[in-house]
Structure 1
Amino acid sequence: MASDGDEEQSQDYLFKIVLIGDAAVGKSNLLARYARNEFYPNSKSTIGVEFQTQKMDIDGKAVKAQIWDTAGQERFRAVTSAYYRGAVGALLVYDISRRQTFDSVGRWLNELQAHSDMNVVTILVGNKTDLKDAREVTTAEGKALAEAQGLFFMETSALDSSNVAAAFQTVVKEIYTILSRKMHLSQDQKKHDMSSLGNGKTVILQEDASDTNSGAKRNWCCS
């Protein structure tokens, strides 16, 4: 039987995730494939920001991922930088058939770190694996860069759907794991604080037992 605490934790979680990377690496098509199972071979460059909300079930909890598709063109970077704020996850996308998009990864990581409020769970995504004959960046190079930067890594194809859902789910599940760990640590600390009230230390505010217990049940939450 679920405890009161389990019921309280079953509320929805909302995680903001951003798609970043150079123009025309396939960010919008990755999102379209994941959110709507659609692909647009002649899609135009994103102007400004668009987003989709996807629901996932993790450990019986309802989790919402609000995925923001940011424009890759240089002239929109100043506009979209504000949308990094509050992000807890990111897909940093490059095109395996265009080395210059891979060479830009370091700059995008710097921008992400400069504009984010916290450490962001990031996966490096080598997109367009369907363009086998045009490949300019090897899988080994992608893995090596991801390991050096402490990122998850996956190669995808928005065209044939390869690993698209897995890339998004990897980020969401890792964010949830980190959040759950923090919640457990917070609850353990509350239990410790409660157990130390009667050990002779000075307590500034005297509360009755009901007030203290209700405070201990307050949810830990992230913004």
Structure 2
Amino acid sequence: MAAAPSRSRGDFDHLIKLLLIGDSGVGKSCLLLRFSDDTFTTSFITTIGIDFKVRTVELDGKRVKLQIWDTAGQERFRTITTAYYRGAMGILLVYDVTDESSFNNIRNWIRNIEQHASDNVNKILVGNKVDMDAKRVVSTAQGQKLADEYGIKFFETSAKTNQNVEQVFFTIARDIKQRLTETVAAATEPPAIQISRQDPDQAGAASSRWSACCNT
């Protein structure tokens, strides 16, 4: 389990850039506000363009600075957000469990990721607003099936009640930190020395030639 997060502005071991994407109104800004400031408001206006928050946490003994970008979900802003895909190290795909259209559009968002983001970007699927269970139209099983199809992790959250919000951000941050650590380790590992194994007959022939040479 991760240690208690630190919100100071001191040094950090890793800088991780995350991107929240999904249709307008699914609660991306509310998730970000809950995670960064531990607050929730029902009067959140629709994000215009790009906004971001920063929170420094401790993961496995390392200080990790999370820079989390919140994108506008409307079609008319999509051209603005595409430039931010490339800088993202992790992407949270958010849909509203009370809005089937936002769930179906996840495939479109994944296509955008495939077109614009880095090949090794970490992804996680988030079904938000589970506190509104009476209005739910997308089941947990549907969300899990879609996540399994793309080989990514899946969480259901509520920004209102703070259900699983910390877990989502900590999970993707930990996965990215592990990937970065493995990448650095692979880059600093000394190259292996290849020792070829000579066929016994070839070795014998070479030895005979060497002996003949020495006896001339």
TM (norm. structure 2) is 0.82
Residue 14 (structure 1) shift: 0.9
Residue 183 (structure 1) shift: 2.0
- Cα distance between partner residues in 2 of 1:116 and 1:127: 23
- Cα distance between partner residues in 2 of 1:11 and 1:105: 33
What is the one-letter code of the residue matched to 2:102?
A: T
**5 Å matches for 1:3-42?**
12-42=13-43
Which is further off, 64-73 or 108-117?
108-117
Equivalent in the alignment of 1:215: none
Equivalent in the alignment of 1:167: 168
- Cα distance between partner residues in 1 of 2:118 and 2:146: 24
TM (norm. structure 1) is 0.79
Equivalent in the alignment of 1:221: none
Q: Secondary structure of the equivalent of 2:168?
A: helix
Q: Secondary structure of the equivalent of 1:40?
A: coil
Are 2:112 and 1:111 equivalent residues in the alignment?
A: yes
Q: Secondary structure of the equivalent of 1:158?
A: coil
What residue ranges of structure 1 are gaps of 5+ in the alignment?
A: 1-9, 200-223
- Cα distance between partner residues in 1 of 2:107 and 2:188: 38
Equivalent in the alignment of 1:62: 63
- What per-residue deviation string (whole Å, max 9, x for no partner) do you get for residues 77-129 of structure 1? 01111111211101100000010000000000010121113321111000000
- What per-residue deviation string (whole Å, max 9, x for no partner) do you get for residues 12-62 of structure 1? 211111000000000000000000011110111000100011112122221
- What per-residue deviation string (whole Å, max 9, x for no partner) do you get for residues 124-159 of structure 1? 000000000000000000000000011110000000
What is the one-letter code of the residue matched to 2:70?
A: D
Equivalent in the alignment of 2:143: 142
Equivalent in the alignment of 1:53: 54
Which is further off, 164-173 or 53-62?
53-62
Largest Rg, 1 or 2: 2
What residue ranges of structure 2 are gaps of 5+ in the alignment?
A: 1-10, 196-216
Distance of aligned partners of 1:95 and 1:11 in 2 relative to their CA distance in 1, 3 Å threshold: closer
Q: Secondary structure of the equivalent of 1:148?
A: helix
What is the one-letter code of the residue matched to 1:186?
A: A
- Cα distance between partner residues in 2 of 1:183 and 1:154: 29
- Cα distance between partner residues in 2 of 1:154 and 1:120: 18
Asked if structure 2 preserves the Cα contact closer than 8 Å seen for 1:88 and 1:118, the reply is: no
Residue 65 (structure 1) shift: 1.1
Distance of aligned partners of 1:81 and 1:57 in 2 relative to their CA distance in 1, 3 Å threshold: same
* C-alpha RMSD over aligned residues: 1.7
**Which contiguous aligned blocks of 4+ residues in structure 1 show a shift greater than 4 angstroms?**
none
Which is further off, 10-19 or 124-133?
10-19
What is the one-letter code of the residue matched to 1:23?
A: S
Distance of aligned partners of 1:176 and 1:138 in 2 relative to their CA distance in 1, 3 Å threshold: same
**5 Å matches for 1:178-197?**
178-188=179-189, 190=190, 192=191
Asked if structure 1 preserves the Cα contact closer than 8 Å seen for 2:12 and 2:65, the reply is: no
Count of residue pairs the alignment pairs up = 185
